[in-house]
Amino acid sequence: MTEAEEPAAQADTTQAPITAPAPTDTRTAVPGALDAVIEMGAALLGLARLEAGRAGRGLLWALLFGIAIMVLVASGLLLLVALLLLGFVHASGSLALALVLTILVLIVGVWLLLRGLRRVLRPLTLPATRAELRAVLEPLRSKPPA
């Protein structure tokens, strides 16, 4: 290397000094961040409160519409039973026989509905969980106390 190249080589190997980022004042940064988090939490809580209110109103309307549908279905079934009774009276010529047949049809219908309801409600008793719990507790029950 020549003398002219030495200062150029030295210039290439020197780097600019690394400077640390300016320290932030924690007395102003932390409360500011906490205030931002509190504001965000308050906004989310307000949104959740509005959503819960809207969901409650929706549930109330669904319940009211459900009741209206049930009233319409019940009145339709009542009309169907009345027509059935009228048909039995017309076919048999006897009001007593028509009432007995109508009551019999209603009893069979209610029995079928209750049977179906019992079948639908059976899983709500958690039979698999109860069987597993019995299987776990059985050795404890049969083991004599020490």
Distance of alpha carbon 79 from alpha carbon 75, whole angstroms: 6
- φ, ψ of residue 17 to 5 degrees: the values are -65, 140
pTM of the full structure: 0.41
Least confident of 19-23, 111-115, 136-140: 19-23
pLDDT > 90 fraction of the chain, expressed in percent and rounded: 1
Contact 58, 67 (CB under 8 A): no
Which residue is associated with the tokens 């079934």?
77
Cα 5 to Cα 12, 16, 107, distances in angstroms:
11, 20, 113
Q: Is 143 left (phi over 0), alpha (psi -120 to 50) or beta?
A: beta
SS (H, E, C) 44-90: HHHHHHHHHHHHHHHHHHHHHHHHHHHHHHHHHHHHHHHHHHHHHHH
Longest dimension (CA), the chain: 134
- SS3 state of residue 34: helix
Per-residue pLDDT of 2-45, as tens digits, reads 555 555 555 555 655 666 555 556 566 667 778 888 888 887 88
